Amino acid sequence: MLMNDKMNELVQFSPYAGRLFLETVSGETNKKVEHENDVHAADGANRTMYAYAPKSGCPDPKQAQVLMVLRGTADEASAQDALERLGLRKLAEEEHFLLLFPNPTDKGWNYKEDPDRDDDMEFLGRCFGALRGSKGGVNGFNGMVFYLADCEEASALLMTMAAKKPMSVPAMMLGAFPRDYSIPADGKNVEVAACICGNEAAAAYVRNANGVSKVDDGVEYGVNPNVRLLELRRPIDKITVLYAWHKVFSCSRRWQNDTYGTYQPRTDFTDRGFTVHVKDASLGCNDNFPHTWYEYIPPRLRGTKEKAPLVFYFHGVNCVPLYGAEQSGWHDVADRENLIVVYPAPAVKKAWNIFNDPSLPSDFDFVLALIEHMKKVHPIDETRIYATGFSMGGMMTHAITAVYPEIFAGAAPCNAFDFGYFRKPKEVYAGVVKGADTSVMAEFSRQHEMADAKREAIDYRMPMFQNVGFDDALIASWPITAETNDVRTKTIARWLEINNIGPIAPDENSLTGIASDEGFYEDSEQRIYHQRWHSKDAGAPVLYEMMTVKRMPHAILPLQIEYAWNFLKKFRRMGDGSLKIEE
């Protein structure tokens, strides 16, 4: 599988592109948290690294890969040598990834973890963190930071990182160890994607940590089939690096949605048959504003006249649609369930206009225009249009379904609540949107007014599947108390009222602190807590559900999307605005 997918638009171009340049790596970790793409590293000594950004450009940071090459010396000549000897310049230009060459200290790599020396595992974390705001002007995603050992000491350091700090190692390539090195006995035995060259001890550790579900074309797939081990009986060179890139690195992505993260499948969007619209003004909305979106129609539906459900997935702030696609996996659900998915992008600043603020193009109008467009692309079952999204995309989900309940048959917001209804535009945009000009924004939320007007005009119900992370420090950590009165409790209370369920009630025995008609764990390890609320309408239908996942920061699991679809697919929005439930 080749992951050089041309649908990942090249948007990052460094002023130093095409040549090595020296970057400063501060000993003080960047304290500004960047949720979903943060780096966790301790402070240490001020150091340096060389970097190489390809002339061909890199994708958006959330889709960009970073390869760190650990060589034995700190001079520029050794970085230049590795760049050419291992074929990395040509590979980076073809595959559009960023190269970093962290510089060891005069004493070499601290693979023995000498406490009197700088901790190199923390230093490598700071190397990634230094990219944000650096002079190179190119960044990548923390779950696609890959490591290549170009000396024995570096192989030992990477093995120790994989054993002790597996979250920090999405994928690695290493060779022989120094004679005085042994794999730490206290290793956590956690899965890691790896290419091992001529090192049986390292391969045995990784094989034991990953487990083996199958072997295909020399690649060992772990119990989680998205984790790969490639063992080669030859040294690290231009040929093995190329092989490792295509068989391991380009196929690996480690999302930070559990204690040690989770490997999820990469998507070749071109091969899957996505349709791309980048800066397309053909919709005619927002004064012919050039909007961006991606469509996915499953193979079984292509060329047919079979009506299909339509799902919108709104990505988070500072993200892009293809990132949201890989994050959620809605297109995989589409293949199985015969539904159509649209992954749109906000009009400006990678942030949804959840307030429908007149100073920005209307993302509400954009969605309405997209619905009309999709009706022309393929027959759409207009009774089965659904909205879902993550983070600010979850806020958009709350907003669009509150304003247009007659269109949407259900909603599944993930890790977000209705900030567009309960907050002012300036408050939200100033905090989450980079470079937003809040001076031109309204002092009130038009979404709030529109939602209230629709509520007065229509006594509707809106099936709602709310996903939350138990440890989501950005939006809200759980449980709540009887005194909690914030945007999440207000949002839940509002939807409970709309769905004729009743007021929100505290329950100190519940994982979330909120009482529900049903509360149960979906799994034997009791990580996934599922709650249900029944409407007081005839038949007592379940119209509100919430899934809370332990060990979950500001992130989601594809499993949550599966549960959300199993809830949503039962509901239809009929032509008169009423709701039909099909069990």
The answer to whether residue 489 scores a pLDDT higher than 90 is yes
Q: 5: which DSSP letter?
A: -
pLDDT digits (tens, 9 = 90+) for 449-474: 999 999 999 999 999 999 999 999 88
For the chain, the maximum distance between any two Cα atoms, rounded to a whole number of angstroms, is: 77
Q: How sure is the predictor about 37, in pLDDT bands with cuts at 50, 70 and 90?
A: confident
* Same fold yes or no, 46-181+236-263 and 269-581: yes
Query: Running DSSP on this structure, what letter comes out for residue 526?
Result: S
If we measure between CA atoms, which residue out of 60, 214, 87 comes closest to residue 144? 60
Contact 118, 47 (CB under 8 A): yes
pLDDT of residue 474: 86
What pLDDT score was predicted for residue 36?
83
Q: How many Cα atoms sit within 13 Å of 18 on the Cβ side?
A: 3
pLDDT band at 272 (very low <50, low <70, confident <90, very high): very high
Q: What is the pLDDT of residue 569?
A: 98
pLDDT, residue 4, reads 58
Residue 1: the pLDDT is: 42
CATH number of 269-581: 3.40.50.1820
Q: Which residues of 508-517 are buried (b: 16+ CB within 10 A; e: fewer)?
A: eebbbbbbbe
Helices (H), 189-231: 200-210
Determine contact, residues 367/373, Cβ cutoff 8 Å.
Answer: no
Neighbours of 35 (CB within 10 A): 19
Mean pLDDT, the chain, rounded, equals 95
Q: How far is the C-alpha of 200 from the C-alpha of 202, rounded, in Å?
A: 6
For residue 560, give the nearest of 203, 125, 255, 171 by alpha carbon: 255
User: What confidence tier does 31 reach under pLDDT thresholds 50, 70, 90?
Assistant: confident
Q: Is the pLDDT of residue 34 over 80?
A: no
Q: Domain map of the chain by residue range?
A: 46-181+236-263, 269-581
pLDDT of residue 2: 44
**At 101, is the pLDDT very low, low, confident or very high (cuts 50, 70, 90)?**
very high
Give the pLDDT of residue 477.
81
Does residue 480 surpass a pLDDT of 80? Answer: yes
Q: What pLDDT is attached to residue 473?
A: 84
Q: Which CATH number fits domain 46-181+236-263: 3.30.450, 2.40.128, 3.40.50, 3.40.91?
A: 3.40.50
The residue to which tokens 């190489």 are assigned: 52
**203-233 tens-digit pLDDT:** 999 999 999 999 999 999 999 999 999 999 9
506-512 CB contacts, 8 Å cutoff, 24+ apart: 506/480, 506/481, 506/482, 508/479, 508/481, 510/479, 511/470, 511/478, 511/479, 511/548, 511/550, 512/468, 512/478, 512/479, 512/480, 512/546, 512/548
pLDDT digits (tens, 9 = 90+) for 80-96: 999 999 999 999 999 99
Categorize the per-residue pLDDT at 243 as very low, low, confident or very high, splitting at 50, 70 and 90.
Answer: very high
pLDDT at site 416: 96
Cα 278 to Cα 200, 281, 321, 393, 402, distances in angstroms = 47, 9, 11, 19, 28
Structure tokens at 576: 């008169």
Residue 512 pLDDT greater than 80, yes or no: yes
CB 53 within 8 A of CB 98: yes
The answer to whether the bond into 479 is cis (omega within 30° of 0) is yes
The DSSP H or E segment spanning 238 is helix 238-247
pTM of the predicted protein model: 0.96
- Size (the chain), residues: 583
Instruction: Using a pLDDT cut of 90, give the percent of the chain over it.
Output: 91
Q: What is the DSSP string of 543-564?
A: EEEEEEETT--S---HHHHHHH
| Residue 283 reports pLDDT greater than 50 | yes
In this predicted structure, the answer to whether residue 574 has a pLDDT above a threshold of 80 is yes
Model confidence over 415-445: pLDDT tens digits?
Answer: 999 999 999 888 888 777 777 777 778 888 9
Q: List, for residues 522-557, the tens digit of each pLDDT value.
A: 999 999 999 999 999 999 999 999 999 999 999 999
CA-to-CA dists, residue 575 to 4, 397, 409, 478, 498, angstroms: 44, 21, 11, 39, 19
Cα distance between residue 69 and residue 100, in whole Å: 6
Q: At a CB cut-off of 8 Å and minimum separation 6, what does 112 contact?
A: 180, 181
